[in-house]
A and B are shown apart, each in its own frame.
Chain A
Amino acid sequence: MVEEKSDSKSTEKILALLERPEMEEAVANLAELLIAMNESGLLDLLKVLADRGVLESLMKYLMTPDFLRMADKLDKYVHVLEESGEILITEEKARTGIGGLLKAMRDPDVQVGLTKLIKLLKFLGTVKEQ
């Protein structure tokens, strides 16, 4: 029971919206969308998501510290994948022999890359052991 009601602005707002001329078309569109969603089963899916804890299960699946950390850096991963992917799919004409390898080793970026590769190999080794 509400002892001292404040003015119901919601009803006024709804009535004002209903009076707007574009409302007729919007409602017709919404009705068509609802029919299509119902026929495709999307409405049932939304009902399940809203009422039956599927959302909770989905959250439990996604909300892990590892997933959150990964999602947090997704833009960085995409950048790395895109850049390295471009190198991988581009035809490479240059050939590198032992001499070229030794020369490349003097490049600080290659040195850092090698350190990262070793770190990655070390981690992959741990995964194998697990």
Chain B
Amino acid sequence: MNGEKVLVVGGGAGGLLVSNLLVGDGREVTLVTNNPEHYFQPANLFIAFKGESPESYKRSVESLLDPKVRLILDKLSKLDLGNRTALTERGKRLEYDYVIVAAGARMDYNSLPGMKENFEMFGDYYSSPEAAVKVWNTVSRMKNGKLIIGVPDLIIKCPPAPHKGVFLAAEFFKKEKRDVTVELLYPSPHIYTEAELAKTIESKMKSFSNIEYRTSFLIDSVDKDRKVVIGMNGEEIKYDALVLIPFHKGPEIDVNPAEARDDDGFIKVDKRKLNITSYDDAFAIGDCNNAPTSKTGVAAHLGAFVVWKRINGRNAEYSGRTNCPLITDDEAIFVISDYDHKPVGQRFSRLKRLMEDLFVAMYFPSLRYPRKFEPIFDVYFNATEPNILGEKGW
């Protein structure tokens, strides 16, 4: 394995983990990212609805990488899978024996009329900590009226994040004794895509006097002048502030062959082996691939371990496991599912909220030292596999 060249694209959780794992085997690893900073994405919620400082959740990519990894701060513009070469925006040509694309999803604000202008006005808690600060600037000043969190599409990172935003905002307004209602506009027939879990979430929402929600609401456009969200059925809902969850698309990399990407630009992979379709030396992990599971840090994390093991000749497979926390201020549930099992039944509890806090505390060290954390995470993932928790749930 000495001398094998590995190219990793992206400085998110998946890219950092797989780089640190593979360089530990003695491989020559190069990571290309155009962002010198890595931020803990779920913290955007704490910035947007609790006013926390973005700085607490940021680290330089360099500080999270094994010093043996070669870091190139540049944007990867072209990837030629047949010739095993890549080109950066500044013209650097790179060759590889293995490539792992972990470039994340691209936020798209142009697929819905009025979305871009709305993003410029109110921000969101999906694209960046700076955009989350914009949300806080609005939320913290609202004295009355209605804050709407709208979900136009369900292919999004952290599927319970819209609900988390609703809960955290509602708790903020409640504590501050402000006359603000928070309304969730959701496109599926239930308040969550899975009906049983939707009941649990719905029941929790009903326990808040300042939360409203509409299901099967398909957003058509936003009229910022009249401050209304317009549904595809023509219904208009008035807002005082609006946070829209952006559409997600595949990364902006010119991949050759073009068939390696689907219509939305996501990279087509074998959903268990995570290799790019028709290539055994190229992989895509995390939000940038088209695996039929949630776009979440856990998928990137587990995907990094699968790819590391497969490159080392082991027969590891990704089960599609998710573990998305849905938090309120004091309680949480975890959306735990995989390719073969729908989300297991859950109850909101303080233990799960505490576990989420512990995970946040371990986040950065677990990226830098993945081998040390692997046994600990494995114990948790094994104990909470959907088929083990089963009907009883958690």
Residues of A within 8 A of B (CB): 1-6, 8-10, 53, 55-56, 59-60, 63-65, 68-69, 71-75
The interface residues of chain B lying within 8 Å CB-to-CB of A4 are 71-74
CB distance from B230 to the nearest CB of A (A): 42
Q: Could you give 30 example pairs across A and B, Cβ below 8 Å?
A: A1-B67, A1-B68, A2-B62, A2-B71, A3-B72, A3-B73, A4-B71, A4-B74, A5-B62, A6-B60, A6-B61, A6-B62, A6-B73, A10-B63, A53-B375, A56-B379, A59-B380, A60-B379, A63-B379, A63-B382, A63-B383, A65-B383, A65-B394, A68-B394, A72-B351, A72-B352, A73-B347, A73-B349, A75-B349, A75-B350
Select which of B37, B67, B375 is within 8 A of A2 by beta carbon: B67
CB distance from B382 to the nearest CB of A (A): 8
The interface residues of chain A lying within 8 Å CB-to-CB of B68 are 1
Docked Cα-Cα span, A73 to B351, in Å, equals 8
Q: Which of B72, B352, B376, B384 has the most CB of A within 10 A?
A: B376
Q: Is B389 positioned at the interface, with any CB of A under 8 Å from its CB?
A: yes
Docked Cα-Cα span, A10 to B55, in Å, equals 12
- A68-B376 CB under 8 A given contacts A6-B62, A9-B60: no
Mask, B354-382, CB within 8 Å of A = 1, is 00000000000000000000011001101
Select which of A1, A56, A64, A72 is within 8 A of B70 by beta carbon: A1
Q: Is B112 positioned at the interface, with any CB of A under 8 Å from its CB?
A: no
CB distance from A103 to the nearest CB of B (A): 36
Q: Is B392 positioned at the interface, with any CB of A under 8 Å from its CB?
A: yes
Judging by beta carbons under 8 Å apart, are A64 and B376 in contact?
A: no
The interface residues of chain B lying within 8 Å CB-to-CB of A74 are 351
Select which of B62, B63, B383 is within 8 A of A68 by beta carbon: B383
The interface residues of chain A lying within 8 Å CB-to-CB of B379 are 56, 59-60, 63
Interface size for B (C-beta < 8 A) is 30
Select which of B70, B376, B384 is within 8 A of A3 by beta carbon: B70
Judging by beta carbons under 8 Å apart, are A65 and B351 in contact?
A: no
Judging by beta carbons under 8 Å apart, are A55 and B388 in contact?
A: no
Not counting A4-B74, A6-B36, A65-B384, a sample of 19 additional A-B residue pairs whose C-beta atoms are within 8 angstroms of each other reads A1-B68, A1-B70, A2-B62, A2-B67, A2-B71, A3-B71, A3-B73, A4-B71, A4-B72, A6-B73, A56-B376, A59-B375, A63-B379, A63-B383, A63-B384, A65-B388, A65-B394, A68-B351, A69-B392
The interface residues of chain B lying within 8 Å CB-to-CB of A5 are 62
CB distance from B324 to the nearest CB of A (A): 17
The interface residues of chain A lying within 8 Å CB-to-CB of B65 are 2
Judging by beta carbons under 8 Å apart, are A72 and B349 in contact?
A: yes
Docked Cα-Cα span, A55 to B380, in Å, equals 12
CB distance from A108 to the nearest CB of B (A): 24
Judging by beta carbons under 8 Å apart, are B380 and A63 in contact?
A: yes
The interface residues of chain B lying within 8 Å CB-to-CB of A2 are 62, 65, 67, 70-71
Docked Cα-Cα span, A73 to B348, in Å, equals 10
Nearest 10 Cβ contacts at the A-B interface = A6-B36, A63-B383, A59-B379, A56-B375, A72-B349, A4-B73, A72-B351, A63-B379, A2-B71, A6-B60
The interface residues of chain A lying within 8 Å CB-to-CB of B380 are 59, 63
The interface residues of chain B lying within 8 Å CB-to-CB of A60 are 379
Judging by beta carbons under 8 Å apart, are B384 and A68 in contact?
A: yes
Docked Cα-Cα span, A111 to B71, in Å, equals 69
Mask, B41-52, CB within 8 Å of A = 1, is 000000000000
CB distance from A3 to the nearest CB of B (A): 5
Docked Cα-Cα span, A21 to B65, in Å, equals 33
Docked Cα-Cα span, A71 to B351, in Å, equals 7
Docked Cα-Cα span, A3 to B33, in Å, equals 12
For A64, give the chain B residue with the smallest CB separation: B383
Judging by beta carbons under 8 Å apart, are B347 and A72 in contact?
A: yes
- A72-B62 CB under 8 A given contacts A2-B71, A3-B71, A59-B379: no
The interface residues of chain A lying within 8 Å CB-to-CB of B347 are 72-73
Q: Which of B71, B382, B383 has the most CB of A within 10 A?
A: B383
Docked Cα-Cα span, A65 to B380, in Å, equals 10
Docked Cα-Cα span, A5 to B36, in Å, equals 9
The interface residues of chain B lying within 8 Å CB-to-CB of A69 are 392, 394
Judging by beta carbons under 8 Å apart, are B394 and A72 in contact?
A: yes
The interface residues of chain A lying within 8 Å CB-to-CB of B382 are 63
CB distance from A92 to the nearest CB of B (A): 34
Docked Cα-Cα span, A64 to B74, in Å, equals 45
Using a CB-CB cutoff of 8 Å, which residues 60-117 of chain B contact chain A?
A: 60-63, 65, 67-68, 70-74
